Amino acid sequence: MGLTERQYRKQEKMNGVVYYMSPAPSFKHGIINGNIYNMIKNSLKDSLCLIFMENLDYHYHLDENDDYVCPDIMVVCDRKHLKGSFYNGVPKFIVETLSPSTARKDRTEKKDAYEKAGVEEFWIVSQQGEVEIYYLKDGKYVLEHDYILQSDREDEDYNAEQEISLRAFPHIKMKLAEIFEGVD
């Protein structure tokens, strides 16, 4: 018995259209996601919340359609909405790390889907050292923070030590430099 296309190729379905997630993202994409994942995971160990990295489909409007995405990083706290390989509740936090092939979709369609679903905090992270932090306010995302890593201590805009915390988990803190550690 052979594997179906779905079983061996990661994909997402948005607005009824299936998008295959290939080619695989760059190593920098994986390093950034791993850095963020590890910092959050270590801080959630005594929590009911769980963190997932690129391995759980998010059915964001199950009552309307069967669309789903696979966020780079997602924190969920309502475990009753975990069903096999997908989650259909409202995550507390999502990160999308941009790749050249997905940047436009991440900034538009996915951002709109997360906003409509009520995801409280959404980060867009670029491999070039930028972190955009959006908070849901009156049902719409508002860009609250936008950091571009400046790691040269001699530069007046040096910000590598800038501490960022998650809104729903203020005890989870990470430095801007830690997010991009190992990328260069």
Band (22; pLDDT cuts 50, 70, 90) = low
Arch. (CATH architecture) of 5-179 = Alpha-Beta Complex (3.90)
**118 residue type, one letter:** G
Range 96-104 average pLDDT? 91
pLDDT tens for each residue of 31-90: 999 999 999 999 998 899 999 998 899 999 878 888 999 999 999 999 999 999 999 999
How far apart are the C-alpha atoms of 81 and 76, rounded to whole Å? 9
Q: Return phi, psi of residue 32, to 5°.
A: -60, -50
Outline where 44-102 has alpha helix (H): none
